[in-house]
């Protein structure tokens, strides 16, 4: 057995049984080993941004890491944007990055680079494999690091000679998994005292706190104390919809967020960060909570957030009775008329499949989606956790691979879609049940708003041209069809509803190019 095979066997043995890959010459022994080991599902993605985004989507839904396979420093560099998003969402991930053979570095061949330096800013754990005898243990350490609560990016660099040399020890057994740190009972009592004070208070949550079972306990707390239930602006995964306890997101625009949080005297953090503005704007605060509002951290991201909510509810003596949950409220189909953010929201809500996974990279057009779909049938909502666009179509790959019996609906703004458009080919190749809806406004529309918000003015012709996606208009139907995904353009709300019905009824991938008026 060579080092590559020992590595693959170690991954599969620890339950890391999906590999999103974009290989090269330095990874050929890893690629060859995949045929000698049972149990690894291999998914080819045609650019590294799709590889890392897919691995992010997979782990969000599977609650365990996928591996990636990336080609030296340049391949890793192409994937960094979505490693950034994944890291911000506490996604567990095991990256395998091929490298030149150790002795080949001395010759400074064209693909040589400092891979550790490329990896480090977007990885929590980085290691260079140094020998075939130890690479299986390195892999077991990488998996343990990735699964360290709440989830981390682990990057293992695999030199070609480490991969091809004999590995007498074979695979390494899985490491014991770290468990989330327990919650300090004093912190529970302190949080309960805050909530009993009667002063305006909110729970601010993210991560596993936003799973339905944990939200039930948040709902008990809210019912007993009147505390508001809030989530971060961006969250890796929210279980929501009819029958679940609803949580309000802190809004993105600073002025609206300030109003939203006004009057609060206490914010209790459950895995979340204290709310700050995405960007600084002249004359506006960075911190979104009002002056004098106390921020109390009940549970850090790596702690057991569900246990924190359960313990707090019990400490408060909150009733165990079912909490008030969201009622089923489907929008009426929007009828005839142009496609607008509002009619599209109604169409999506009217036709959202049961138990769907919604991937939201809808940017400005999607501003009404989250609110409108609040009472839709139960679904999961996946957001862009790091603010770096170009992840939605890849996230949908990973979500669909993790949950083959669920429908994925990817809500994609046109500009964002273009960063990793080749991910559609993987939707087709793997016949994933994904309906991608493009918000085609032929614009980086949000940046027009940001131009004014930052005080940069309304933009002259050069500025406007940089935010405009026409000349030529993008034809997403042709793009999708060229990659094997059936597609249709829609220009009215009626057509959008009909296209959603057709797409959800048929297995396999679909794309709907929603052309906004
Ligand atoms: C990796 C990355 N590059 C650039 C940006 C800056 N950016 C933020 S929004 C945006 C345009 C979004 O356009 P689109 O996806 O069409 O959404 P719309 O604004 O039209 O709703 C850009 C370029 C970013 N956030 N991330
Ligand atoms: Mg746009």
Q: What is the mean pLDDT of residues 38-44?
A: 98
Are residues 169 and 114 in contact, defined by beta-carbon separation less than 8 angstroms? no
What's the CA-to-centroid distance between 318 and ligand 1, angstroms? 43
**pLDDT tens for residues 284-314?**
999 999 999 999 999 999 999 999 999 999 9
Q: What is the mean pLDDT of residues 460-468?
A: 96
Q: Is 423 in the pocket of ligand 1 (CB under 6 A)?
A: no
Write b or e for each residue in 29-60: b if 16 or more Cβ atoms lie within 10 A of its Cβ, otherwise e.
bbbebbeebeebeebbbbbbbbbbbbbbbbbb
Residue 8, H or E segment: helix 3-13
pLDDT at 167: 98
Which amino acid residue places its CA nearest to atom 26 of ligand 1? 388
Q: Is 49 in the pocket of ligand 1 (CB under 6 A)?
A: no
pLDDT at 42: 98
Q: What is the mean pLDDT of the chain?
A: 97
pLDDT at 249: 97
pLDDT at 243: 96
Q: Which atom of ligand 1 is nearest to the CA of 416?
A: 15
| 3-class state of residue 240 by DSSP | strand
Q: What is the mean pLDDT of residues 392-419?
A: 98
Q: Which atom of ligand 1 is nearest to the CA of 366?
A: 21
Q: Is 390 in the pocket of ligand 1 (CB under 6 A)?
A: yes
| pLDDT confidence bin for 333, thresholds 50/70/90 | very high
Q: How many CB atoms lie within 10 A of CB 275?
A: 24
Q: Is 516 in the pocket of ligand 1 (CB under 6 A)?
A: no
pLDDT at 320: 84
What's the CA-to-centroid distance between 350 and ligand 2, angstroms? 23
**pLDDT tens for residues 109-162?**
999 999 999 999 999 999 999 999 999 999 999 999 999 999 999 999 999 999
pLDDT at 319: 86
Using CA atoms of 285, 274, 398, 394 in order, give the dihedral in degrees to the nearest 10.
10
Q: How far is CA 283 from CA 39, 54, 261, 289, in A?
A: 56, 39, 18, 16
Q: Is 80 exceeded by the pLDDT of residue 321?
A: no
Q: What is the mean pLDDT of residues 359-379?
A: 97
Q: Is 387 in the pocket of ligand 1 (CB under 6 A)?
A: yes
Q: Which atom of ligand 1 is nearest to the CA of 390?
A: 1
> Is the omega angle on the peptide bond into residue 150 within 30 degrees of 0, that is, cis?
yes
pLDDT at 218: 97
| pLDDT confidence bin for 26, thresholds 50/70/90 | very high
pTM over 0.85: yes
pLDDT at 323: 78
Q: Which atom of ligand 1 is nearest to the CA of 365?
A: 21
Residue 426 phi/psi, 5-degree rounding, is -70, -35
Q: Is 180 in the pocket of ligand 1 (CB under 6 A)?
A: no
Q: Is 90 exceeded by the pLDDT of residue 322?
A: no
Q: Which of 373, 419, 417, 442 is nearest to 511 (CA)?
A: 417
Q: Is 81 in the pocket of ligand 1 (CB under 6 A)?
A: yes
Which amino acid residue places its CA nearest to atom 12 of ligand 1? 444
Ion ligand 2 neighbours (CB, 5 A) are 413-415, 441, 443
């Amino acid at each position: 057995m060579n080092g590559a095979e020992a590595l693959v066997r170690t991954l599969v043995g620890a339950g890391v049984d999906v590999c999103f890959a974009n290989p090269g010459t330095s990874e050929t022994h890893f690629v060859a080993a995949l045929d000698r080991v049972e149990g690894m599902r291999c998914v080819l993605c045609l650019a590294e941004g799709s590889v890392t985004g897919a691995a992010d989507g997979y782990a969000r839904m599977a609650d365990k890491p996928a591996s990636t396979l990336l080609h030296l420093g340049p391949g890793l560099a192409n994937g960094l944007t979505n490693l950034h998003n994944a890291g911000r969402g506490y996604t567990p991930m095991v990256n395998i990055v091929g490298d030149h053979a150790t002795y080949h570095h001395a010759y400074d061949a064209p693909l040589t680079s400092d891979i550790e330096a490329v990896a480090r800013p977007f990885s929590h754990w980085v290691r260079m494999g140094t020998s075939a005898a130890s690479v299986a243990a390195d892999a077991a350490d990488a998996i343990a690091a990735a699964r360290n609560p709440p989830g981390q990016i682990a990057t293992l660099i695999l030199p070609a000679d480490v991969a091809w040399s004999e590995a007498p020890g074979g695979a390494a057994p899985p490491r014991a998994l770290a468990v989330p740190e327990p919650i300090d009972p004093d912190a529970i009592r302190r949080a309960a005292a805050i909530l009993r004070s009667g002063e305006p208070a909110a729970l601010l949550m993210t991560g596993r706190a936003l799973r339905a079972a944990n939200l039930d306990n948040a709902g008990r707390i809210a019912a007993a104390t009147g505390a508001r239930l809030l989530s971060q602006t961006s969250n890796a995964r929210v279980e929501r919809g009819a029958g679940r306890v609803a949580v309000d997101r802190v809004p993105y625009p600073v002025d609206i967020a300030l109003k939203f949080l006004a009057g609060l005297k206490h914010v209790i953090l459950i895995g979340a960060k204290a709310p700050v503005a995405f960007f600084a704007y002249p004359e506006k605060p960075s911190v979104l909570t009002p002056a004098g509002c106390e921020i109390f951290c009940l549970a850090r991201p790596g702690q057991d957030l569900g246990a924190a909510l359960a313990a707090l509810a019990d400490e408060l003596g909150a009733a165990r009775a079912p909490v008030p949950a969201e009622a089923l409220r489907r929008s009426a189909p929007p009828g005839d008329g142009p496609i607008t953010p509002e009619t599209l929201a109604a169409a999506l809500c009217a036709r959202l499949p049961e138990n769907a996974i919604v991937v939201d990279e809808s940017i400005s057009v999607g501003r009404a989606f989250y609110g409108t779909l609040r009472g839709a049938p139960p679904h999961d909502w996946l957001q862009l956790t790091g603010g770096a666009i170009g992840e939605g179509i890849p996230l949908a790959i990973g979500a669909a691979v993790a949950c083959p019996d669920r429908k994925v609906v990817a809500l994609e703004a046109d500009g964002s879609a273009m960063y990793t458009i080749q991910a559609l080919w993987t939707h087709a190749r793997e016949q994933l049940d994904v309906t991608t809806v493009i918000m085609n406004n032929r614009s980086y529309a949000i940046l027009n708003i940001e131009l004014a918000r930052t005080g940069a003015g309304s933009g002259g012709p050069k500025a406007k041209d940089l935010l405009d996606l026409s000349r030529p208009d993008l034809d997403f139907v042709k793009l999708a069809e060229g990659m094997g995904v059936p597609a249709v353009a829609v220009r009215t709300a009626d057509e959008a509803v009909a296209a959603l019905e057709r797409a959800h009824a048929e297995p396999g991938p679909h794309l709907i190019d929603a052309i906004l008026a």
